[in-house]
């Protein structure tokens, strides 16, 4: 029964962490709020975002309350994972709290890279199968800021745009080196007595 409860808690908090981060990112890229993904994400996160906005102001047009909620959800999830792995968090020292905040930030960065990977991959597949799909504009808004970096430097080869391939390779490299290295370094700090 305990394992089922832990699984359910981790799943629910993980979904909300992803939803908060997606809501923040969709706002950053100015995705239309009427697409099905935005409507869904807003519907499941409004219960927490609307009250939090009273205490956390926006900054330059960005809803920081949504990002803060993603960070808090990820911190809860990581705290539970660390406790289950035998790391003592009862002594809430400043170093432990800072390490959990840093771990949460790295986890959100990792989740963001996965969002970019999925959006780019789905956009690439749909461009071959159904380029006029209604979701293409949303996927383009999510991945174009990164794809445009490669499109400016590399011309299509034989009519095929290779920028999604370059972006996917770069995302994998980011996941392998800086994100995993930072995550492991922070875990090492937490495991020190």
Q: Which of 61, 64, 58, 21 is nearest to 41 (CA)?
A: 21
Per-residue model confidence as pLDDT tens for the chain (193 residues) = 578 878 888 899 999 999 999 999 999 999 888 888 999 999 999 999 999 999 998 888 899 999 999 999 999 998 888 777 777 766 567 878 888 899 999 999 999 999 999 999 999 999 989 989 889 999 999 999 999 999 999 888 988 899 999 999 999 999 999 999 999 998 887 776 5
Do residues 110 and 177 lie in contact, with contact meaning Cβ atoms separated by under 8 Å?
A: no
SS3 54: coil
Q: List C-alpha distances in Å: 47 to 11, 107, 124, 184, 185.
A: 18, 23, 34, 34, 35
Angle at 70 between CA 189 and CA 102, to 5 degrees: 15
What are the tens digits of pLDDT across the range 47-90? 999 999 999 988 888 999 999 999 999 999 988 887 777 777 66
Provide the residue ranges of all domains of the chain, joining segments of one domain with +.
Answer: 2-191
Q: Which of 71, 126, 125 is nearest to 103 (CA)?
A: 71
SS3 157: strand
């Amino acid at each position: 029964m305990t394992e089922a409860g832990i699984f359910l808690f981790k799943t629910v908090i993980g979904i909300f962490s992803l939803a908060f981060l997606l809501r923040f990112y969709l706002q950053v890229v100015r995705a239309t709020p009427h697409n099905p993904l935005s409507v869904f994400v807003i519907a499941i996160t409004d219960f927490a975002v609307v009250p939090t906005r009273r205490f956390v102001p926006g900054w330059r047009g960005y809803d920081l309350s949504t990002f803060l909620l993603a960070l808090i959800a990820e911190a809860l999830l990581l705290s539970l994972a660390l406790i289950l792995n035998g790391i003592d968090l009862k002594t809430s020292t400043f170093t432990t709290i800072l390490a959990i905040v840093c771990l949460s930030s790295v986890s959100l960065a990792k989740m963001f890279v996965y969002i970019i990977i999925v959006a780019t991959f789905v956009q690439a597949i749909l461009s071959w199968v159904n380029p006029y799909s209604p979701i293409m504009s949303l996927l383009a808004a999510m991945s174009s800021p990164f794809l445009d970096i490669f499109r400016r430097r590399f011309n299509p080869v034989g009519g095929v745009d290779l920028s999604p391939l370059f972006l996917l390779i770069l995302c994998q490299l980011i996941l392998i080196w800086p994100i995993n290295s930072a995550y492991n370094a922070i875990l090492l700090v937490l495991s020190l007595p």
